Amino acid sequence: AGLTKGDIAQISALIQQMRRDGMTFLIVSHDLKALEPLIDHTIAINYGSKIAEGSYGDVIGDDAVRSSYLGVA
């Protein structure tokens, strides 16, 4: 919350380097677009229940996700 685009770029570069070194991350965010380059696997949760899981493209295109997060299906 409250991160600038520069902050996000720096954090993303750090995470990418650490992933190359073999680390795994669990990132919780509402800003999926900013995280897209870092995402291998995505889980969408709505009110504590998993509503979709898979690749970024599959999850972001899922009707339940679109309805829950974007208000459209």
Q: How far is the C-alpha of 13 from the C-alpha of 20, rounded, in Å? A: 11
Q: Give the pLDDT score at 73.
A: 60
Whether the predicted pLDDT of 72 surpasses 80: no
Convert 28-66 into a string of H (helix), E (strand) and C (coil). Answer: CCCCHHHHHHHCCCEEEEECCEEEEEECHHHHHCCHHHH
Length of the chain: 73
Instruction: Check if the beta carbon of residue 58 is closer than 8 Å to that of residue 51.
Output: no
pLDDT 10s digits, 33-64: 888 888 889 999 999 999 999 999 999 999 99
Across the range 7-30, mean pLDDT stands at 91
* Domain boundaries, given as residue ranges, for the chain: 41-73
